[in-house]
């Protein structure tokens, strides 16, 4: 489908979904964002739903300003995927051992590594700029610096919620490795600190929603946030790189006879800020639950833990600020899912997938998400499908 433009907004709100299907609170968030004097446009993805500060599944283009709550607390959250030389014929009948080995190698939930992972000891992982990256930690907000030890140990760990590691098959029965994570606790700490600082600024006192507090260009507060924001986005990228390297090591050991090879990794943020130019304007583009989908650029759009995911190539649609959805998008809250579904429901909806099927992950049940096929159909003018993947192993935080 092409987009629908919402009438009556101060700037264009272009929606790649039927506005009538969007929850009222999410529509109000979109209208609130459109009132900000710095905003130049708003693109709404088919996986849109209510979120903290701004809707998940929205692309907010602003000139000379950025809203830290719209970026969110999981700065740099995103996806990585790599195709391997393995096929379905190489897999054992029981995949529980593989899941256990992945969980041993990559800490999940609140867990972290006992000692920081040394990237120089990981097979094939590029380490250029590693020391410079950690050197720039000296410039982050003083209130967060005491977390460096924890940040070092969490580098290369999954986290919880909807983060996952998956072992997938595509439609040709080739094996793909895929994972979803972000900047862990250090990103959360930095985000919460700066959201608090933005709320104190005088120009933010009359906003319709205090979560829309912004930093303005050429101010010390903006400079400080930009430093920490881009550092946290880099942390998230390194985190996924280290997890993928650890994951590859597991696969090499578990499939030693098959001597697996790995193609180039596809990686994309879906909670982040990027400096981009549209219609002659230099803009700060916040993708909150959206990926960049410039012409020919590869991206990853996951479904739920029982439905599969898509590798896509962007079509470069500037009406969407070169963006696409970041996933299926929730259609009910975590609490609603826990009240409505049981462990038996979860087991039924994840049949054929080696994964947790206990009460602790019922909130991630496939039925809590929108149908991924519908989401993909609504953004045919944003991306083209390269591969459709179906997980056979899913590790959840």
Q: Give tens-digit pLDDT for 84-98.
A: 999 999 999 999 999
pLDDT tens figures, 16-34: 999 999 999 999 999 999 9
Residue 189 has pLDDT above 80, yes or no: yes
pLDDT in tens, 68-82: 999 999 999 999 999
Band (345; pLDDT cuts 50, 70, 90): very high
Which residue among 49, 269, 270, 326 is the active-site one? 326
Q: Is 326 a catalytic residue?
A: yes
In 3-state terms, what secondary structure has residue 297? coil
Residue 354 has what pLDDT? 97
**Within its chain, how far is the Cα of 279 from the centroid?**
27
What mean pLDDT do residues 276-303 have? 98
High-pLDDT (> 90) share of the chain, %: 93
Cα–Cα distance measured from residue 222 to residue 259, given in angstroms and rounded to the nearest whole number: 49
| CA–CA distance, 108 with 52 (Å, rounded to integer) | 24
What pLDDT does 164 receive?
97
Which has more confidence, 126 or 212? Answer: 212
DSSP character at residue 160: S
Residue 1 above 80 pLDDT? no
CA neighbor of 298 nearest in space, from 59, 124, 82, 127: 82
Q: How confident is residue 126, by pLDDT bands cut at 50, 70 and 90? A: confident
Determine the 3-state secondary structure of 31 from DSSP. helix
pLDDT number for residue 25:
95
């Amino acid at each position: 489908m092409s987009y629908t433009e919402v009438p009556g907004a101060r700037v264009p709100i272009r929606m790649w979904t039927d506005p009538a299907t969007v929850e009222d609170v999410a529509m109000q968030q979109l209208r609130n964002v459109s009132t900000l004097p710095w905003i130049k446009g708003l693109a709404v993805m088919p996986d849109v739903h209510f979120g903290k500060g701004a809707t998940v599944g929205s692309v907010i283009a602003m000139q000379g300003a950025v809203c830290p709550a719209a970026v969110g607390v999981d700065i740099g959250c995103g996806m990585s995927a790599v195709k391997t030389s393995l096929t379905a014929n190489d897999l054992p009948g029981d995949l529980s051992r593989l899941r256990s080995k992945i969980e041993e190698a990559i800490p999940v939930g609140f867990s972290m590594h006992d000692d920081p992972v040394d990237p120089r000891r990981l097979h094939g992982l590029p380490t250029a700029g590693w020391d410079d990256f950690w050197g720039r930690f000296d410039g982050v907000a003083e209130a967060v610096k005491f977390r460096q030890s924890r940040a070092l140990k969490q580098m290369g760990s999954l986290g919880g919620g909807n983060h996952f590691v998956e072992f997938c098959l595509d439609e040709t029965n080739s094996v793909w490795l895929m994972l979803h994570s972000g900047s862990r606790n250090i990103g959360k700490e930095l985000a919460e600190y700066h959201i608090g600082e933005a709320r104190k600024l005088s120009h933010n006192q009359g906003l319709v929603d205090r979560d829309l507090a912004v930093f303005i260009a050429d101010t010390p507060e903006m400079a400080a946030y930009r430093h920490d924001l881009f550092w946290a986005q880099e942390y998230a990228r390194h985190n996924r790189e280290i997890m993928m390297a650890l994951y590859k090591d597991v696969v090499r050991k578990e499939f030693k006879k098959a001597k697996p090879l790995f193609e180039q990794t596809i990686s994309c943020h879906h909670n982040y800020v990027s400096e981009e130019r549209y219609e002659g304007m230099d803009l700060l583009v916040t993708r909150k639950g959206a990926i960049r989908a410039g012409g020919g650029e590869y991206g990853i759009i996951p479904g739920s833990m029982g439905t599969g995911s898509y590798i896509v190539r962007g079509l470069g649609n500037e009406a969407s600020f070169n963006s696409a959805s970041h996933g299926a998008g929730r259609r009910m809250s975590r609490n609603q899912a826990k009240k409505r579904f049981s462990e038996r429901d979860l087991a039924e909806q994840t049949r054929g997938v080696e994964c947790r099927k206990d009460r602790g992950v019922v909130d991630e049940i496939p039925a809590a998400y929108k149908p991924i096929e519908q989401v993909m159909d609504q953004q045919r003018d944003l991306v083209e499908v390269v591969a459709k993947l179906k997980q056979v192993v899913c590790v959840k935080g």
